[in-house]
Amino acid sequence: MRKIFFACLAVLSAVQGLTSRQKTPGGQQACSEIGEVRHIPFHAEDKVGDAAYNQLREKSWSVVPCLIGQITNSSLTPDPRSAPIYPKVRVGDVAFWVVRDITRLPYDEMFPASVSRRFKKEGVYAYFDWVNRDGNRKKLQSKIQAWYMLHKPKEFS
């Protein structure tokens, strides 16, 4: 009986250790999977077979602060979208798209009106043209952070 008790105690401690390591010091979920995302859905409600994307989606709003922090990450990563393929996708782009899928933030409102107007004709290329200019990733990050602070569910306040 004593052996079973200590075995259960050991398993419980191990599980708690794993859970606490997945969170940042502020209690937010870590988002290290962002660099491993290789496929995202065209529509947020569509299912995909990408483990990294699905893990981030399962973490839901708790991972959003970490993802917002990654928006300025300019490390190259394969384009996880189906089409049109863009050769210089950054980890920050993927972080933005995952935040959009989790929160349903109003995409067009995150950009200056001059950029939003270009989306109808140029699509995602207007996004890439704007976001790749000096300082614009930081502007996007700030805009999303401000939106998040106003719209995050109460349990994440």
- List, for residues 96-130, the tens digit of each pLDDT value: 999 999 999 999 999 999 999 999 999 999 999 99
Same domain (yes/no): 65, 135: yes
pLDDT at 26 exceeding the cut of 60: no
Number of domains in the chain: 2
With tokens 């250790």, the residue in question is 17
Radius of gyration of the chain (CA): 18
Is the separation of the CB atoms in 143 and 130 below 8 Å? Answer: no
Same domain (yes/no): 21, 67: no
Same domain (yes/no): 130, 79: yes
Same domain (yes/no): 15, 37: no
pLDDT at 61 exceeding the cut of 70: yes
| Tokens read off for 13 | 């401690």
Instruction: Output 4 or 14, whichever has higher pLDDT.
Output: 4
pLDDT score, position 157:
72
Same domain (yes/no): 80, 35: yes
Same domain (yes/no): 7, 38: no
pLDDT band at 21 (very low <50, low <70, confident <90, very high): very low
Determine the structural domain holding residue 3 and report its residue range. 1-26
Same domain (yes/no): 108, 43: yes
Q: For 50-55, what is the mean pLDDT?
A: 98
Same domain (yes/no): 3, 45: no
Cβ neighbour number for residue 93 with a 10 Å cutoff:
26
Amino acid identity, residue 63? V
Same domain (yes/no): 86, 151: yes
pLDDT band at 29 (very low <50, low <70, confident <90, very high): confident
Same domain (yes/no): 105, 65: yes
